[in-house]
Structure 1
């Protein structure tokens, strides 16, 4: 099971890096240009992705007073991208070093509505990596709306083939 989560963590980093490379080739104005999506800009979507990964990280680490990075963030789209990729590496490193007991562990956390929940770490990891896939799909659609035609493939199979 650990190998599967290592692969998913590495894929999450790789896929985010692929799309971020495309986004970083755009002028900053394009990354904050509004388009029709869940979050109105590329920058806003990346910021949400970083928030989500950071919040789940803080929950897993049993931190109190969880704060989304966007609360105090004033940086550029490039800064958001670097921060998201750094968070991705934290997940990769954690999974690589996790013992079977750590993966089997169940944590208690509070939702954004302050409701208590218990969740196995494996489910938490699936949430983090699946959530990233969902929003990468949105980033692709947003890039197309902004006139970008050369968009990297981020399918899991493309990732696995690139690692052979």
Structure 2
């Protein structure tokens, strides 16, 4: 996987986050906070987990070599609307990070500590790919929850982004 592939995934992450946010902003806080049986209970709980994972755990690990220690269900942003906005504001940081990344770094290892203090060493690029795959997984859970609650949800398949880009060429 090269820088262009990673940039594609980072751009998809921004696109999907923006598209999801447009639909989420139409839901009430009550709907966002309702326990719908997800691992992190609610849509908000899952959004909060995305914010935590992508931006409080993984981003500092990749960018600064810092392993913050949070439980995976730590409440980072209790306000659902602010949580959505924080995801929107922070998603583009990954694009900047990848654009400015030393190409040699893509072939190195990532050393970090999990929330429980366990030291891990993983291949840098596949682990970065995990961050974007993780977001895709949880956005899928969120759209299923939106459907369960009777709300319209966006189509987030990557092919829709590709078609959208093709129309704008």
Structure 1's unaligned 5+ residue stretches are none
SS in 1 for 2:111: strand
Per-residue displacement from partner, 1:56-98 (whole Å, max 9, x unpaired)? 1111121254457985745421111111122211111111222
Q: Does structure 1 residue 35 correspond to structure 2 residue 24?
A: no
- Identify which range, 120-129 or 41-50, moves more after superposition: 120-129
SS in 2 for 1:163: helix
Distance 1:43 1:96 in 2: 30
**2:110–2:121 CA contact under 8 A, matched in 1:** yes
1:43-82 aligned at under 5 Å gives the runs 43-54=44-55, 55-60=57-62, 61-63=64-66, 65-67=68-70, 71=74, 73-82=76-85
**1:108–1:119 CA contact under 8 A, matched in 2:** yes
1:75-154 aligned at under 5 Å gives the runs 75-148=78-151, 150-154=152-156
**2:50–2:138 CA contact under 8 A, matched in 1:** yes
SS in 2 for 1:119: strand
Distance 1:68 1:43 in 2: 16
What do you get for the CA RMSD once the two structures are aligned?
1.9
* Cα displacement (A) at 1:124: 2.0
What TM-score comes out, normalization by structure 1 length? 0.90
Structure 2's unaligned 5+ residue stretches are none
Work out which structure has the larger RCO, using CA pairs closer than 8 Å and 6 or more positions apart in sequence: 1
**2:32–2:44 CA contact under 8 A, matched in 1:** yes
Runs of 4+ displaced beyond 3 Å? 64-75
**2:36–2:145 CA contact under 8 A, matched in 1:** yes
Per-residue displacement from partner, 1:99-155 (whole Å, max 9, x unpaired)? 31122231211122322111222122111000001101100111011111x221111
What TM-score comes out, normalization by structure 2 length? 0.87
Aligned residues: 163
